[in-house]
């Protein structure tokens, strides 16, 4: 192997080591037929559920295949058990297009990538979060997953 190949190999290992595939579950009331989500990766994630340090960034990315075409998409994250489904503070309701490939094409795999700042005032503990990406013109066309992480100092 030449030097670049060796470097690429070790960079690949470093990426594998820092981003971990995490457990996900589907969201209530969202049919997986509208959108399938294959895998969510979170970094850093030295153990499960991923411990996310407050005051730091965590990166999330997931592979999804929407069964709908849309050019304007929105994204938000929620506490899974929040009955009001208030969008999570630092994200709010955001344009999803900087984080995915827009427009979406029905049946075509896509990747969502997000750098999430973990606010210092959040409580410590293990919580389920719900992450959504939806068609702005038809919110029933939605990709949704739930994952459990640990917020800690």
Ligand X SMILES: *[C@@H]1O[C@H](CO)[C@@H](O)[C@H](O)[C@H]1NC(C)=O
Is the CB of 57 or the CB of 86 nearer to ligand X? 57
Q: How far apart are the first and last CA of the chain?
A: 43
Q: Which two tokens stand for residue 72?
A: 């304007």
Cα 28 from Cα 115, distance rounded (Å): 25
Residue corresponding to tokens 């592979």: 63
Residue corresponding to tokens 């506490």: 79
Is the CB of 9 or the CB of 117 nearer to ligand X? 117
Q: How far is the CB of 118 from ligand X (least distance, A)?
A: 9
Is the CB of 23 or the CB of 90 nearer to ligand X? 90
Strand bridging mode 94-95 / 138-152: unpaired
Closest to 150 in 3D by CA, of 131, 113, 124: 124
| Residue number with the smallest Cβ distance to ligand X | 57
Residue corresponding to tokens 């192997």: 1
Which spans of this chain sit near ligand X (rule: CB under 6 A)?
56-57, 115, 117
Q: How far is the CB of 59 from ligand X (least distance, A)?
A: 9
Is the CB of 35 or the CB of 97 nearer to ligand X? 97
Q: How far is the CB of 103 from ligand X (least distance, A)?
A: 25
Q: How far is the CB of 55 from ligand X (least distance, A)?
A: 6
């Amino acid at each position: 192997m030449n030097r670049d190949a060796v470097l690429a190999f070790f960079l690949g290992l470093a990426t594998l080591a820092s981003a971990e595939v995490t457990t996900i579950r589907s969201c209530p009331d969202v049919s997986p037929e509208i959108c399938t989500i294959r895998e969510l990766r979170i970094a850093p994630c030295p153990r499960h559920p991923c411990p996310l340090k407050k005051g730091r960034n965590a990166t999330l990315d997931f592979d999804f295949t929407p069964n709908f075409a849309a050019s304007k998409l929105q994204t938000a994250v929620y506490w899974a058990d929040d009955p009001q489904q208030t969008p999570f503070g630092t994200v709010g309701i955001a344009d999803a297009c900087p984080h995915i490939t827009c427009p979406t094409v029905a049946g075509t795999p896509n990747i969502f990538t997000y750098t999430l700042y973990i606010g210092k005032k959040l409580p410590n503990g293990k919580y389920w979060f719900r992450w959504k990406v939806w068609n702005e013109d038809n919110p029933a066309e939605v990709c949704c997953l739930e994952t459990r992480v640990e917020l800690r100092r």
